Amino acid sequence: MTYLHETLERLKKSSPAQAEFYQAAEELLESVEPLLEAEPRYLEHGIIERLVEPERQILFRVTWTDDEGRIRVNKGYRVQFNSALGPYKGGLRFHPSVNAGIIKFLGFEQIFKNALTGLSLGAGKGGSDFNPRGRSAGEVMRFCQSFMTELARHIGPRIDVPAGDIGVGGRELGWMFGQYRRLTRRFEGALTGKGMEWGGSFCRTQATGYGAVYFAETMLRSRGESLKGCRCLVSGAGNVAIHAIEKLIQVGARPVSCSDSTGALYHADGIDLTTLRRIKLEERGSLKGYLEEHTDAEFTPVDDYPAEGHAVWRYPADAAFPCATQNELCDADAKALLDSGISCVAEGANMPSTAEAVDRFVRSGIAFGPAKAANAGGVATSQLEMQQNATLQQWTTTKVDRRLQQIMIQIHKRASDAASEFGQPGNLVLGANIAAFRRVADAMIDQGAI
Ligand code: NDP
């Protein structure tokens, strides 16, 4: 449809050099083409033009002082993309690769992910090009406080509720919440992923990784299969990867890999979670250290990766869980995974597979869970944290975990039903995009031309 291509061309002119954002927009626009043909009202109401333009983009300076007393400056971002379904909601990423295009792609994906949960959630995303690697705790704290000094005026429990993402875990959220409270004099749920003693929800930290595994199980169950006994490749070694590995072990699967920015680790007997946690969460070191305790494991440094692709996807396996970062699984990796007989991929990270890799997975007919469906457990549990904060309650782990499982099953049903309705049963990329788009678009139409 020329209309969609015109929209993409317009986007490239108005928002130059934002490759990841065009990638996310192109996938969505292609998926919803049959819906737009069936229901022209979405075009008549200018939904596409409005959806690709954030409601508000905030760019600010973050000034902080390093341990030598030198003044440092980073860029801070918050994109408030769409609030048709609820307060803006989405994480904060601290990583040197962060720029306006990365935050925009993440915010755009967040619109549809949040819509798929069926909960009252708008979409936003933020972060900074600050690199926490090698920085002392004092430096990271001063950075977080300075970042929040500006951000605080733009957020609030009914306005915009940020959470964590790459480089932002419980420690950073604590420092940002402390500064928010100091500035506003309000103890309220303006952030999620908080500590258990100060407004956090049980299971929020685990929710994205657990949710990706629940989603994979749901996809497989609908095909009469299960994860039990499956060898699983996981990438990443942060919050999402560690909790995906933990849940995989609990459901009787065998996670055999993980990765970080220094390389890929393979342990055929199964990843030892205690060692992994110590290295990544306590020591904040490289995965290479795992070999000191497990000499039968293999570590491939980034310099030795294949010319095209990522070493972590080149091991024999039955299922794959990309849980590190965007575009970490390319077409050559997808081909290698399918050649080795993989039957399930659930994306824990945001847009971890390139467009070509996604096409290959979908064409192959394996169980493929796209990020906006498979990793929505984190934001869904954030919404449960918001519900608990609003009523000054704290639910039990069992209650939150049960809700998370139900939500993942419902997300799968929404995506799966829409895929069948549009003649492509099992194509959850198409189904997730259509089901999510329809929910947001209908709300936008109801609320008028704003
Ligand atoms: P963490 O910072 O906890 O972990 C990220 C992991 O990925 C680390 O092991 C890091 O390596 C590795 N990594 C990050 N960037 C790169 C890179 N450019 N190259 C190689 N390795 C990299 O982040 P999360 O686990 O929270 O997030 C992982 C993914 O999941 C992201 O795509 C995020 O957007 C997505 N996500 C997260 C949610 C959450 O609740 N946290 C919710 C939904 C999606 P190293 O340890 O060396 O830094």
What pLDDT, in 10s, does the model give residues 180-238? 999 999 999 999 999 999 999 999 999 999 999 999 999 999 999 999 999 999 999 99
Cα 126 to ligand 1 centre (Å): 15
Do the Cβ atoms of 303 and 314 come closer than 8 Å? no
CA of 284 to the centre of ligand 1 (A): 13
Provide the H-helix boundaries in 278-376.
331-339, 355-364, 371-374
* Count of C-beta atoms within a 10 Å radius of residue 424: 17
Annotation says 125 is catalytic: yes
Q: Which of 125, 194, 280, 372 is catalytic?
A: 125
- For ligand 1, the distance from its centroid to the CA atom of residue 349, given in whole angstroms, is 7
Query: Structure tokens of 267?
Result: 């342990």
278, 255 Cβ separation under 8 angstroms: no
Residue 1 clears pLDDT 70, i.e. is over it: no
Contact 219, 367 (CB under 8 A): yes
Residue 127 predicted with pLDDT over 90: yes
| Nearest Cα to Cα of residue 404 among 438, 367, 374 | 374
CA distances to 92, 150, 333 from 427, in Å: 30, 42, 20
- Going from the Cα of 270 to the center of ligand 1, the distance in angstroms, rounded, reads 21
pLDDT at 141 exceeding the cut of 90 = yes
Residues with CB under 6 A from ligand 1: 91, 97, 164-167, 169, 208, 236-241, 260-262, 280, 323-325, 348-350, 375, 378
- Report how far apart, in Å, the C-alpha atoms of 127 and of each of 95, 162, 164, 204, 337 are: 8, 10, 9, 20, 33
Where in the chain are the domains?
A: 1-50, 54-188, 207-374
Ligand 1 atom 35 nearest Cα: 349
Which CATH number is associated with domain 54-188? 3.40.50.10860
pTM (predicted TM-score): 0.98
* Mean pLDDT of the 281-307 span: 97
| Residue closest by Cα to atom 40 of ligand 1 | 378
Q: Do domains 54-188 and 207-374 have the same CATH topology?
A: yes
Which architecture does CATH list for 207-374? 3-Layer(aba) Sandwich (3.40)
Question: Which one of 103, 128, 234, 240 would you pick to mutate in the ligand 1 pocket, going by the greatest count of ligand atoms within 8 A of its CB?
Answer: 240
The answer to whether the Cα torsion of 375, 112, 334, 363 is positive or negative is positive
